[in-house]
Amino acid sequence: MSIKDALIVQAKKAKEAARILAVVPTAVKNQALEAIAGELENSAAQIIRENNKDLEAGRAAGLSSALLDRLELNEKRIQDMADGLRELVRLKDPVGDIVEIQRRPNGLQVGKMRVPLGVAAIIYEARPNVTIDAAGLCLKAGNAVILRGGSEAINSNRILAAIAAKAIAQVGLPADAVQLVQTIDREAVSVLLGLTDYLDVLIPRGGAGLIRRVINEAKVPVIQTGVGNCHIYVDQGADLAMAGRIVTNAKTSRPGVCNAVETLLVHEEVAPELLPDLYNRLKEDGVQLRGCPRTKAILPEIAAAEEADWYEEYLDYILAVKVVSSFDEAVRHINTYGTKHSEAIVTNDYARSQRFLQEVDAAAVYINASTRFTDGNQFGLGAEIGISTQKLHARGPMGLNELTTVKYVIFGQGQIRE
């Protein structure tokens, strides 16, 4: 069977499963989520064995330490996946909610009911935890999901998807509600992009190349997620000890994720005091700095930044640094080079903090906090399907509500239109 024919078979099964899931009671969906969480915990040793195959292949292929970190599953991360599913159980099910109801002059009551999107296809790279996050979120929101992970995580994704399908079948739901594309052939992506008869939405989650390809080629509606060229601007008069903690956390806690900081902007008044201390702190963590000429005047030993560095999502222990003359210059730089993901200011000036909120165009804008908090779990959404950087339908961490749409529901008592 060709790749296209095989994917059409999967998509047909997903569409049928979506019809069933759309009307499944919340209690049953929650049972399924609990079942997946339990299976993850019981299968931790097996998951780690399969994940080790991917890690060994990744090391042989020369993946960076940051990408290997994204790929790794250990007992804590498996437990975190299980805990994330149980957090979804505790969250309110949006399906069936009627919102914005109003009574018209003729007595009709008009409202909007939240309903599932239908069948979602998720195309993602490197992070196998996305397999479980996506499966759990789609299930709770009443959607079937087809998962297409990256080749570097194929063994991990296969076992995780199998665990999810087995667990939901145990509570009487269709196993086809969670399916993994088994082939790593790139043709599979091309096929998914054109399955308009079966897929309701396509969500790419990965690097700039993947997202650009999906946006340019897809015929299925796309929700664009998060290339993260994130910035932190340290303002004049800022608390420099706070700034140092925030920048260090945002760069080093997990540099291979999309909410890690990639560019630091520093006001010229505080740069001479902040940068030497911060450089020494980051050097201990293995971070390489690339600086503008004014930064190199303070730190002559660092590499020079080129124009391409201001656009770069490194996903690694590299940080671009630019000294700016004003708040306005910092905001212009962010709006020019940023990817509308997460941007932060460290400041003690209330007026400038409010201007930053208003003038910076991004899905998440921070005052005096690390960009690393842009995450569904940290925002109280449970897991997240991705960080949407577009402006239509969904923006920021995509939780349960963002995996639903609405239909108008109208309650009448025999009214007819004159």
Q: Give the mean model confidence (pLDDT) for residues 185-199.
A: 94
Domain with CATH 3.40.309.10 in the chain: 230-373
Q: How far apart are CA 390 and CA 321, in angstroms?
A: 26
70 close to 128: Cβ distance less than 8 angstroms? no
Is residue 382's pLDDT more than 80?
no
Q: Give the mean model confidence (pLDDT) for residues 82-111.
A: 94
Tokens 């498996």 correspond to 78
Is residue 111's pLDDT more than 90?
yes
pLDDT, residue 208, reads 77
Is residue 263's pLDDT more than 80?
yes
Average pLDDT, the chain: 94
* Torsion angles phi and psi, residue 103, rounded to 5: -100, 125
Tokens 């015929």 correspond to 219
Residues in the chain: 418
Residue 116's H or E segment, with its range, is strand 109-116
- What confidence category does residue 418 fall into, taking pLDDT thresholds of 50, 70 and 90? confident
By CB atoms closer than 10 A (0-12, 13-18, 19+), residue 80 is middle
pLDDT, residue 335, reads 96
pLDDT, residue 51, reads 97
Q: Which CATH class is domain 3-225?
A: alpha beta
Among the listed residues 169, 228, 183, the one whose alpha carbon sits nearest the alpha carbon of residue 31: 169
- What confidence category does residue 388 fall into, taking pLDDT thresholds of 50, 70 and 90? confident
Q: How far apart are CA 342 and CA 230, in angstroms?
A: 5
pLDDT, residue 189, reads 93
Our measurement of the distance from residue 313's CA atom to the centroid of its chain's CA atoms, rounded to an integer in Å, reads 15
pTM: 0.84
- What confidence category does residue 308 fall into, taking pLDDT thresholds of 50, 70 and 90? very high
pLDDT, residue 227, reads 80
Segment among 3-12, 130-139, 224-233, 268-277 with least mean pLDDT: 224-233
pLDDT, residue 385, reads 83
Is residue 226's pLDDT more than 80?
no
79 close to 41: Cβ distance less than 8 angstroms? yes
Tokens 């402006």 correspond to 391
Fold classification of 230-373 is Aldehyde Dehydrogenase; Chain A, domain 2 (3.40.309)
Q: How far apart are CA 33 and CA 52, in angstroms?
A: 26
In eight-state DSSP terms, residue 225 is B
Structure tokens at 142: 């009443």
Q: What is the dihedral of CA 73, 79, 82, 86, to 10 degrees?
A: -150
pLDDT, residue 207, reads 76
Beta strands 364-367 and 342-346, pairing class? parallel
pLDDT, residue 334, reads 98
Q: Give the mean model confidence (pLDDT) for residues 301-327.
A: 96
- Count of beta carbons in the 10 Å neighbourhood of residue 99: 10
Q: Give the mean model confidence (pLDDT) for residues 298-327.
A: 96
pLDDT tens-place string over residues 3-37: 999 999 999 999 999 999 999 999 999 999 999 99
Helical H segments across 327-384, by residue range: 327-337, 350-359
Q: How far apart are CA 174 and CA 16, in angstroms?
A: 9
Is residue 66's pLDDT more than 80?
no
Q: Give the mean model confidence (pLDDT) for residues 60-76.
A: 90
Is residue 209's pLDDT more than 90?
no
- What confidence category does residue 241 fall into, taking pLDDT thresholds of 50, 70 and 90? very high
DSSP 246-282: HHHHHHHS-TTSTTSEEEEEEETTTHHHHHHHHHHHH
Q: Give the mean model confidence (pLDDT) for residues 142-166.
A: 96
Is residue 107's pLDDT more than 90?
yes
Q: How far apart are CA 379 and CA 223, in angstroms?
A: 20
pLDDT, residue 240, reads 97
* Pairwise pLDDT comparison (392 vs 231), residue with the higher score: 231
